[in-house]
Amino acid sequence: MLVASITLIALLTGCFGYNKSAKRWAYVGDAILLAGGAAAIAIDVTEQQPRCKPDDMGNGCTFQPSIHGAMIGGIVLAAAGLFGILFNATRDDVKTSR
Protein backbone atom coordinates (compact mmCIF):
# COMPACT_ATOMS: atom_id res chain seq x y z
CA MET A 1 0.00 0.00 0.00
CA LEU A 2 2.83 2.39 0.84
CA VAL A 3 4.63 1.73 -2.45
CA ALA A 4 1.40 2.30 -4.40
CA SER A 5 0.78 5.60 -2.62
CA ILE A 6 4.33 6.82 -3.29
CA THR A 7 4.00 5.78 -6.93
CA LEU A 8 0.76 7.69 -7.42
CA ILE A 9 2.08 10.82 -5.75
CA ALA A 10 5.33 10.69 -7.73
CA LEU A 11 3.60 10.21 -11.04
CA LEU A 12 1.08 12.97 -10.36
CA THR A 13 3.67 15.58 -9.44
CA GLY A 14 6.30 14.75 -12.05
CA CYS A 15 9.95 15.59 -11.59
CA PHE A 16 10.62 17.77 -14.60
CA GLY A 17 12.57 21.01 -14.44
CA TYR A 18 12.15 24.01 -16.71
CA ASN A 19 15.31 25.93 -15.81
CA LYS A 20 18.73 25.13 -14.34
CA SER A 21 17.70 25.41 -10.68
CA ALA A 22 14.47 23.46 -11.13
CA LYS A 23 16.33 20.74 -13.03
CA ARG A 24 18.71 20.23 -10.11
CA TRP A 25 15.82 19.58 -7.74
CA ALA A 26 14.09 17.43 -10.35
CA TYR A 27 17.22 15.27 -10.55
CA VAL A 28 17.07 14.87 -6.76
CA GLY A 29 13.44 13.78 -6.98
CA ASP A 30 14.20 11.40 -9.84
CA ALA A 31 17.12 9.88 -7.93
CA ILE A 32 14.80 9.30 -4.95
CA LEU A 33 12.31 7.56 -7.26
CA LEU A 34 15.09 5.34 -8.62
CA ALA A 35 16.38 4.50 -5.15
CA GLY A 36 12.87 3.77 -3.86
CA GLY A 37 12.16 1.54 -6.83
CA ALA A 38 15.43 -0.32 -6.41
CA ALA A 39 14.74 -0.80 -2.70
CA ALA A 40 11.23 -2.14 -3.37
CA ILE A 41 12.56 -4.56 -5.98
CA ALA A 42 15.39 -5.69 -3.68
CA ILE A 43 13.02 -6.27 -0.76
CA ASP A 44 10.66 -8.30 -2.94
CA VAL A 45 13.49 -10.39 -4.43
CA THR A 46 15.19 -11.13 -1.10
CA GLU A 47 11.99 -11.85 0.82
CA GLN A 48 11.70 -15.56 1.56
CA GLN A 49 8.45 -16.96 0.19
CA PRO A 50 7.44 -20.61 0.47
CA ARG A 51 7.49 -22.41 -2.88
CA CYS A 52 4.48 -24.54 -2.03
CA LYS A 53 1.62 -23.30 0.08
CA PRO A 54 -1.19 -25.75 0.89
CA ASP A 55 -4.71 -24.46 0.41
CA ASP A 56 -7.24 -24.08 3.25
CA MET A 57 -8.16 -27.76 3.16
CA GLY A 58 -4.49 -28.83 3.33
CA ASN A 59 -4.59 -30.25 -0.19
CA GLY A 60 -1.76 -29.77 -2.67
CA CYS A 61 -0.16 -26.51 -3.57
CA THR A 62 -1.73 -23.28 -4.72
CA PHE A 63 -0.19 -21.16 -7.47
CA GLN A 64 2.44 -18.72 -6.24
CA PRO A 65 3.26 -16.04 -8.84
CA SER A 66 6.90 -14.98 -9.09
CA ILE A 67 5.99 -11.30 -9.56
CA HIS A 68 4.35 -9.57 -6.58
CA GLY A 69 2.92 -6.12 -5.94
CA ALA A 70 6.16 -4.76 -4.46
CA MET A 71 8.03 -5.80 -7.60
CA ILE A 72 5.54 -4.03 -9.86
CA GLY A 73 5.58 -0.92 -7.68
CA GLY A 74 9.38 -0.90 -7.70
CA ILE A 75 9.48 -1.21 -11.46
CA VAL A 76 7.04 1.69 -11.84
CA LEU A 77 9.04 3.89 -9.44
CA ALA A 78 12.36 3.08 -11.12
CA ALA A 79 10.90 3.64 -14.60
CA ALA A 80 9.45 7.01 -13.54
CA GLY A 81 12.80 8.09 -12.12
CA LEU A 82 14.71 6.97 -15.20
CA PHE A 83 12.22 8.69 -17.52
CA GLY A 84 12.49 11.90 -15.49
CA ILE A 85 16.29 11.88 -15.66
CA LEU A 86 16.30 11.28 -19.41
CA PHE A 87 13.59 13.91 -19.98
CA ASN A 88 15.45 16.53 -17.95
CA ALA A 89 18.76 15.76 -19.66
CA THR A 90 17.30 16.28 -23.13
CA ARG A 91 15.02 19.23 -22.34
CA ASP A 92 16.18 22.76 -23.16
CA ASP A 93 16.13 25.39 -20.42
CA VAL A 94 13.29 27.87 -20.63
CA LYS A 95 14.49 31.46 -20.78
CA THR A 96 12.67 33.56 -18.21
CA SER A 97 12.87 37.35 -18.11
CA ARG A 98 13.83 38.92 -14.81
52-69 burial string, b = 16+ CB within 10 Å, else e? eeeeeeeeeeeeeeeeee
**Residue-wise pLDDT tens digits, 8-28:** 665 555 566 677 777 788 888
pLDDT, mean of residues 40-67:
75
Other Cβ atoms closer than 10 A to 85: 18
Q: Which amino acid is at 82?
A: L
pTM recorded for the entire structure: 0.66
Half-sphere exposure in the Cβ direction for 51 (13 Å, CA): 0
Q: Report which of residues 24 and 37 the model is more confident about.
A: 37
Q: Tell me the C-alpha distance between 77 and 88, whole Å.
A: 17
DSSP 53: B
